[in-house]
Structure 1
Amino acid sequence: MMPLLDVQHLQKTYTTRFGAHQVQALADVSFTVEPGEYVAIMGESGSGKTTLLNILAALDRSTAGEVLLGGRSLSAIREKQLAAFRRSHLGFVFQDFNLLDTFSLRDNILLPLVLAGERPAAMERKLMPLAQRLGISELLSKYPYEVSGGQKQRAAVARALITAPELILADEPTGALDSRASARLLELFEAINREGQTIVMVTHSVEAASHAGRVLFLRDGRVYHQLFREGESREHQVRRISDVLTGLTQGGEQDA
């Protein structure tokens, strides 16, 4: 089976203002994600996590290497087609929710379908089962500033899922949530993953990463190590992840 996501020798170099210096954010990153996988990406600040996620999201271009989604090279997509491609194939969940305060939760969730030109009746048929499942059906008329952080994030998840994307990309999705809302969101991610949704999540949270089936660790712009959960309890996985992170901060060597 062809991997859903195929990342091949990614490099990204930024040139500072006036070209005085070059900063290598990604040195040589390669990995694949199979359909239905749930992968967490971890690493210290400056390890390349955010740069990698932006390239996977087609929000940035790599300096070298290639990303294929469903066998299609992201670098081959023209700039004017990128927004439509992201809307059709990718779903996004951000730390700061990225909801529009002037839109109700309903309108925020439906926005990708509106932009895609779907009919109102078809949008409603997609919205209501999803809102009920996420526990926000009673909140759809409210505005983001009227609901809690956890409720905002569930609305953001609904917006990500409503287009039935091939891949969900999550950037620190629990970063702005309290422990209770974080736990509920991570349970939700596990549930939608069990139903076949592929998820790639960047996180600094050991607890969040322990819910994933696989954890990739970045160091100095490269994949340094990976852990498979393989039926381990989350408590045991938390300890294993913590051990690898300790090795990262201490500069220890692991086999990738």
Structure 2
Amino acid sequence: MSFLEVSNLKKIYTTRLGGTHVQALRDVTFSVERGEYVAVMGESGSGKTTLLNILAALDTPTSGKVVLDGKNTAELRERELSAYRRDNLGFVFQDFNLLDNFNLQDNIFLPLVLAGKKYPEMKKRLDPIAKKLGISDLLQKFPYEVSGGQKQRAAVARAIITNPKLLLADEPTGALDSRSADSLMQIFDHLNASGQTIVMVTHSVRAASHAQRVLFIRDGEVFHQLYRGEHTTEEMFSLISNTATLIATGGEKNG
């Protein structure tokens, strides 16, 4: 069995009055191996954010299942979900989700505090991560005192300080300038090279070109997949661009 198994996911939303049904996911099936780096792309409304929310156990599918490292999230009780997310998942968001009244260090410590860890252990975990991400000198600053790129580095530190089995990223470069975005993608490359499994939802062809595999979602289904293989990042950029154009112009689904 693969590290992450997504099987026949379907998600239907019903309006409050029950008169309208919106099918966000139709039949999504794919797997992710341990240590793989997968990007998920698709136009707005394609279902990729719904997919990420289900992977994050923030939403439940209408049918189908998600199995992470042998554990079926559908079998978890409500009170077990928070612990599951804390113990297995790391999150990086477009808008950073940092608390303005906490300095960067306390923001990064937050998941460990919730897990009941003591300060010496938290500090021991943070020091090498902060050094790797280049934010050691910024830890006492507040989010409003640093740049967007520095905020996102702090958000990455918070996501990985728990040693998550799976790192989930939702448009992580969306609020960054091109230089900060490139820097963040280099960080993701290094994290993946060290063994971190990553699933990233993105609109950015530039960001997706760093992944080992790109899944394209259209109309709630996996439309196509691209594998890096021996391709360079520049070659992946071209392949992804061409596929995105095919999707946007209504090309036929891959065999």
> 1:126-205 to 2 correspondence within 5 Å?
126-205=125-204
Gaps of 5+ in 2: none
For residues 103-145 of structure 1, give each alpha carbon's deviation from its aligned partner in whole angstroms, at most 9, with x where no partner exists.
1100000000000001111111001111011000100000001
Report the TM-score, using the length of structure 1 for normalisation.
Answer: 0.98
SS at match of 2:5: strand
Letter in 1 for 2:89: L
Gaps of 5+ in 1: none
Tell me the CA shift for residue 253 of structure 1.
1.3
Matched residues in 2 for 1:82 and 1:104: separation? 28
Aligned CA RMSD, in angstroms, stands at 0.7
SS at match of 2:231: coil
SS at match of 1:18: coil
Matched residues in 1 for 2:200 and 2:106: separation? 25
Tell me the CA shift for residue 18 of structure 1.
0.6
For residues 184-243 of structure 1, give each alpha carbon's deviation from its aligned partner in whole angstroms, at most 9, with x where no partner exists.
000000011001000000000000000000000001100000000112111111111011
Aligned to 2:39: 40
Letter in 2 for 1:99: L
Matched residues in 1 for 2:3 and 2:117: separation? 26
Percent identity (aligned) = 63
Tell me the CA shift for residue 92 of structure 1.
0.1
Tell me the CA shift for residue 254 of structure 1.
3.8
Aligned to 1:241: 240
Letter in 2 for 1:15: T
State whether structure 2 residue 127 is matched by structure 1 residue 120. no
Moved over 6 A (4+): none
Aligned to 1:103: 102
Tell me the CA shift for residue 97 of structure 1.
0.2
Tell me the CA shift for residue 17 of structure 1.
2.2
Matched residues in 2 for 1:187 and 1:254: separation? 32
